[in-house]
Structure 1
């Protein structure tokens, strides 16, 4: 029987897409072991690459575009429509961290996502699926909701500024003009199970990646606490802290439900069924650390492999944690530096795959 290797990487943030990473891995396996069947199933967990994963899995998906306003000017953001009336929206396409940057973590705003959600509603979407990973903002979803018609005010009745800056002064909201959610609801694909605030919350865990220093992190956390005091809801729900609190904002005002993006998208691409009987499963991402096992796709792929007693390997830009029985390869180590690994990921992905192929028994 021909050995079969399943290649199911995530994107390597701002470096290489999941699809291109999978192809580079496949080239490495074919070079050393041309007898091996490589099955390419690029993955996502609700963050960068969500739309591409859906496009690969759903032949009925059609690409739409909507112009959003970012700090550096307008941009056309992609989203998808499916034949059953579902719209699929990816936050990373609208206002992700690589698009917005880290220059103003307190003022970063989720309004562009609201712009795309409004377009999906106007296009007649009956259901909306939103991938929430990779945000630049920590605004509790207030900017997104503002674009959908919610008014947020301070104690003088004035509109508050965008971003978490506004949440530091918010005292009230007016939902009179808030657009209703689509009739069949909203599903949020989360890559984390964090609550809104506190030591495991949106600010404490994720704001450092968005440019916040320790003093600002405390400000952001207090702003999210204030937001929760104003609008109620369930700030402790798993996933409430996803995307800087967007999970909380959209569940509070739109009744959105949250689910694991990794599980939803891997099921959509039939990954669990394809892992069964494979000789090896290879996944990958930019940085593999403890967070990889808290809702990220790499951790989910490894758990699927373990469930089916299939060997697993991780190829990552950097590897900061181990897992018994799982082979870990660092592109930084193979390339000699993080800069080289990020600038030229494909040859090093091929090299890593060649090493894995050489270890497979004939």
Structure 2
């Protein structure tokens, strides 16, 4: 039997590659004579660099930048040698990620995106002529102003003082934008499945601000600041505030769109980069999954994308997850089956234990493989299995 494993990361526990190898071990135990291939995947957020480097020749470059509150942090990006010049793939979460800071009402006035700007600048200085920026999982709601300042933009606060110090949210007291940075012809691509506008009820502050510690009062303040920021960008000829994705990652989408970035769905980019469609062609079974699988999974998340490609190739598609919460009338969603991997309810600390989760993934994958293999056996003349 030919099996393809394309499992998203079990966040806080296993990377996509680690989870995939655990699943593959279970497949091999159940079908020693079969062929199994592991393809790391991601949705264009955290894990994108690892997935791309696992499938494409390139360098992992580590840069010392700053996190969302201005502390030094080492962030890795991929540098790929492809025409017409090197392409860098960077992740916002690697430097200004929410997981790197303490979440609370003290965070919104402090969190900025300067670290991502420094990471992009590092890649450009290393010769990148195209920079792919994976958004998602950020701690900041600054409209990308911090990123632009780190790249050379000029802006002032409402008192006329220059903005630009890392470790602050420059949007909090933003006044005027004097000039945008010039990247010297470098092409930009922004990866996001979020289609929120920059501001308003569906914008960055209202939808994502509370996840980053913002109080209702702070949400209202940030939304007002984002509206002013959108108007400032428009005054410089960049009408981006209402474009889909402008509100992604606290408004980073707007800043990158203002620099001329092309927007691309994250999973689609990663799937092409790792050759997922070719990998699943001719597969009998595709195993996918993530740490938590719920009603949101079918709305653009990685396992749903894998399922679409797997089903189009005629494979049986089974999703594995640490936790499964689906409506009773949609028990499988885009999958042929959905299975929780843990044999019993576990305390969170135990459920996030990498060794235990890997063992449970392997055991469940083995059971699925045996079941699919049994269903493929030809029937004996009397109608029973041979």
On whether the aligned pair clears a TM of 0.5, the verdict is yes
Choose the corresponding residue for 2:175, options 171, 176, 186: 171
* Cα distance, 1:279–1:239 mapped onto 2, change above 3 Å: same
* Cα distance, 1:329–1:203 mapped onto 2, change above 3 Å: farther
Deviation at 1:46, TM superposition (A): 1.6
The answer to whether the aligner puts 1:209 opposite 2:216 as a matched pair is no
* Cα distance, 1:330–1:235 mapped onto 2, change above 3 Å: farther
CA distance in 1, matches of 2:266, 2:19: 20
Task: Quote the residue 2:338 is aligned against.
Answer: 328
Taking structure 2 as the reference length, what is the TM-score of the superposition?
Answer: 0.84
Task: Quote the residue 2:39 is aligned against.
Answer: 41
CA distance in 1, matches of 2:118, 2:169: 20
* Stretch of structure 1 that moved more, 128-137 or 256-265: 128-137
Task: Quote the residue 1:237 is aligned against.
Answer: 243
- Bigger radius of gyration: 2
Task: Quote the residue 2:59 is aligned against.
Answer: 62
Deviation at 1:25, TM superposition (A): 0.7
Three-state SS of the structure 1 residue aligned to 2:319 is: strand
Deviation at 1:67, TM superposition (A): 0.6
* Cα distance, 1:219–1:155 mapped onto 2, change above 3 Å: closer
* Stretch of structure 1 that moved more, 267-276 or 102-111: 102-111
Give unpaired runs (5+ residues) of structure 2: 375-386
Task: Quote the residue 1:257 is aligned against.
Answer: 262
Choose the corresponding residue for 1:52, options 26, 38, 50: 50
1:176-325 matched pairs, under 5 angstroms: 178-232=180-234, 233-252=239-258, 254-321=259-326, 322=331, 323=333, 325=335
Three-state SS of the structure 2 residue aligned to 1:153 is: strand
CA distance in 1, matches of 2:199, 2:339: 34
Task: Quote the residue 2:18 is aligned against.
Answer: 20
Deviation at 1:292, TM superposition (A): 2.8
Deviation at 1:341, TM superposition (A): 1.4
* Cα distance, 1:350–1:309 mapped onto 2, change above 3 Å: same
Choose the corresponding residue for 2:7, options 6, 9, 21: 9
CA distance in 1, matches of 2:153, 2:214: 27
Deviation at 1:354, TM superposition (A): 2.6
CA RMSD of aligned residues (A): 2.4
* Cα distance, 1:230–1:9 mapped onto 2, change above 3 Å: same
Three-state SS of the structure 2 residue aligned to 1:319 is: strand
Deviation at 1:20, TM superposition (A): 0.2
CA contact (8 A) 1:143 1:163 kept: no
Three-state SS of the structure 2 residue aligned to 1:283 is: strand
CA distance in 2, matches of 1:222, 1:316: 39
Q: Deviations over 1:299-355 (max 9, x none)?
A: 211222233332222222322334165322234664533332112321222233233
CA contact (8 A) 1:240 1:247 kept: yes
* Stretch of structure 1 that moved more, 159-168 or 14-23: 159-168
CA distance in 1, matches of 2:209, 2:71: 23
Three-state SS of the structure 2 residue aligned to 1:55 is: helix
CA distance in 1, matches of 2:243, 2:171: 20
CA distance in 1, matches of 2:323, 2:209: 20
Q: How many residues align?
A: 356
Three-state SS of the structure 2 residue aligned to 1:109 is: coil
* Cα distance, 1:296–1:223 mapped onto 2, change above 3 Å: farther
Q: Deviations over 1:112-141 (max 9, x none)?
A: 111111112222221111111221212111
Give unpaired runs (5+ residues) of structure 1: none
Three-state SS of the structure 1 residue aligned to 2:131 is: strand
CA distance in 2, matches of 1:197, 1:288: 29
CA distance in 1, matches of 2:215, 2:285: 41
CA distance in 2, matches of 1:214, 1:348: 41
Three-state SS of the structure 2 residue aligned to 1:27 is: helix
CA contact (8 A) 1:168 1:222 kept: no
Task: Quote the residue 1:137 is aligned against.
Answer: 140
Taking structure 1 as the reference length, what is the TM-score of the superposition?
Answer: 0.89
1:68-147 matched pairs, under 5 angstroms: 68-70=65-67, 71=69, 73-84=71-82, 85-103=86-104, 104-106=106-108, 107-147=110-150
Q: Deviations over 1:73-99 (max 9, x none)?
A: 422211222223212212222222222
